[in-house]
Amino acid sequence: MKKQNLLLLIAVIVIAVIPLVFIHPTQDAEIFTGSDDQAESMITQIQPDYQPWFQPFWEPPSGEIESLLFALQAAIGAGAIGYVIGVFRGRKQAKGTTA
Amino acid sequence: MHIMEGFLPVKHAIGWGLVTLPFLGYGCTRLAKQMKGDSGTKLMLGASGGFTFILSSLKIPSVTGSCSHPTGTGLGAIVFGPGVAIVMGFVVLVFQALLLAHGGLTTLGANTFSMAIVGSYVAYGVFHLGQSLHISPKISVFFAASLADLATYITTSWQLALAFPDPVSGYLGAAVKFMGIFAVTQIPLAISEGLLTVLVLNLLSQNAPDSLRATLPFTKEA
């Protein structure tokens, strides 16, 4: 099981790294931009006169702040999963010593 | 899969919002029912929600040269059913709409429909189809989570195509254009999401208390 988990983790890393290795920037095009933003430009391409009718109340003032909040989101999630696995393990061990 | 704030016409925004409401209501009743469970169940709910938080925050490079993110709704849908996973996906989308200007309040209905509702039902359906065909639980979980991820992005493409049909090639042409952006980019990410869902369920199942044996897919066979 441990070996399987390790293999799964390696596979995920490899899948993420392959594009980084094989795709290189060209002069006229930015690479690894978000697909959500590309869809936005496709909308303006299909319907050039479309005006967004609502603006976000608050936007992260810089890319740094945005990445901070994304990191926070991931940290909350990772914290929750780590905590749960830890509690499960602890309970199992406690049960093992009393039984 | 995030349709940006204000980027759906008013009628579409309201329409998707209305479609989403009954599913959210159903999800809340399912979640309230699970919250009455034992502490093992509550912890598992926390872990499933946490998984959606992590996965939907990871923007991963893809072979198309653009970045996208997985959704993380599959795990919750497989363990607790689609209702609970819908609420979890919705909470993440609200977080991202308010704090990250990612997605938005006017597009919350459409984004909830693609990520939380379609994603959860596809994961749940594929997993149970796999089980009824006696495919190993791990393979079933992998395909359930991967296809849920992919289905979410295909749904977004169609939502955008319905709102912005191509002047020449119509709805189908626009859908093809949006799928060119979303679906192809998403294929390697969907595979990653499937692998990560198996990995995290492995870790949870290995340590889970006996009371969760009936709920977790990998402990039944052991």
Question: Which of A23, A36, A47, A59 should be substituted to probe chain B, the one whose Cβ sees the most B Cβ atoms within 10 Å?
Answer: A36
The helix/strand/coil state of A23 is coil
B220 or B58: whose pLDDT is higher? B58
Residue B114: both structure tokens together: 């693609």
pLDDT tens-place string over residues B104-150: 999 999 999 999 999 999 999 999 999 999 999 999 999 999 999 99
Contact B69, B56 (CB under 8 A): yes
Q: Rounded CA gap, A41 and B104, in Å?
A: 17
Residue A72 CA: distances (Å) to CA of B97, B103, B202: 15, 17, 25
Interface confidence, given as ipTM, is: 0.92
pLDDT tens-place string over residues B171-216: 999 999 999 999 999 999 999 999 999 999 999 999 999 889 888 9
Q: 């309201």: which residue's tokens?
A: B14
Which of A30, A4, A18, A41 lies closest to B201 in space, CA to CA?
A4
CB contact under 8 A, B174 and A38: no
Q: Rounded CA gap, A84 and B50, in Å?
A: 10
The alpha carbon of residue A96 is apart from the nearest alpha carbon of chain B, in Å, by 12
Query: CA nearest A85 in B: which residue?
Result: B204
Running along chain A, 99 residues long, what does each successive block of 10 average in pLDDT?
Answer: 93 96 84 92 94 92 94 96 96 78
Tell me which of A54-58, B94-98, B162-166 is least confident: A54-58
The DSSP string of A38-90 is HHHHHHHHHSTT-------S---SSHHHHHHHHHHHHHHHHHHHHHHHHHHHH
The DSSP string of chain B is -PPPTT-S-HHHHHHHHHHHHHHHHHHHHHHHHHHTS-HHHHHHHHHHHHHHHHHTT--EE-TTSEEE----HHHHHHHH-HHHHHHHHHHHHHHHHHHS-SS-STTHHHHIIIIIIIHHHHHHHHHHHHHHTT--HHHHHHHHHHHHHHHHHHHHHHHHHHHS-BTTTHHHHHHHHHHHHHHHHHHHHHHHHHHHHHHHHHHHHHH--GGGTTTSTTTS--
pLDDT computed for residue A98 by the predictor: 60
Q: Rounded CA gap, B190 and B196, in Å?
A: 10
Contact list in B for residue A15 (CB cut-off 8 A) is 188, 191-192, 195
CB contact under 8 A, A69 and B100: yes
Contact list in B for residue A12 (CB cut-off 8 A) is 192, 195-196, 199
pLDDT computed for residue A25 by the predictor: 83
Facing A77 at nearest CB: one of B50, B65, B97: B50
pLDDT computed for residue A99 by the predictor: 52
The alpha carbon of residue B132 is apart from the nearest alpha carbon of chain A, in Å, by 24
Query: CA nearest B42 in A: which residue?
Result: A84
Query: CA nearest B3 in A: which residue?
Result: A36
pLDDT tens-place string over residues B138-161: 999 999 999 999 999 999 999 999
Position B137, amino acid:
P
pLDDT computed for residue B47 by the predictor: 97
Using 50, 70 and 90 to split pLDDT, how confident is the model at B45?
very high
Contact B51, A77 (CB under 8 A): yes
Facing B209 at nearest CB: one of A23, A31, A88: A88
Q: What is the dihedral of CA B203, B204, B207, B213, to 10 degrees?
A: -130
pLDDT computed for residue A28 by the predictor: 74
Number of residues in chain B: 222
Counted across chains A and B, CB pairs separated by less than 8 A come out at 182
Contact B29, B117 (CB under 8 A): no
Which of B93, B102, B71 lies closest to B20 in space, CA to CA?
B93
pLDDT computed for residue B214 by the predictor: 85
The yes-or-no verdict on residue B222 having pLDDT over 50 is no
Q: Rounded CA gap, B192 and B146, in Å?
A: 8
What integer is the mean pLDDT of B53-78?
95
CB contact under 8 A, A85 and B47: yes
Using 50, 70 and 90 to split pLDDT, how confident is the model at B220?
low
Contact list in A for residue B208 (CB cut-off 8 A) is 88
Facing A78 at nearest CB: one of B50, B66, B207: B50
Using 50, 70 and 90 to split pLDDT, how confident is the model at B32?
very high
Sheet containing strand B60-61, edge to edge, reads A33-34, B66-68, B60-61
Facing B65 at nearest CB: one of A23, A39, A43: A23
Contact list in A for residue B46 (CB cut-off 8 A) is 80, 83-84
pLDDT computed for residue A24 by the predictor: 87
pLDDT computed for residue A29 by the predictor: 78
CB contact under 8 A, A46 and B67: no
CB contact under 8 A, B202 and A15: no
pTM: 0.95
The alpha carbon of residue A49 is apart from the nearest alpha carbon of chain B, in Å, by 11
Contact B43, A84 (CB under 8 A): yes
- Report strand pairing: A33-34 vs B60-61: unpaired
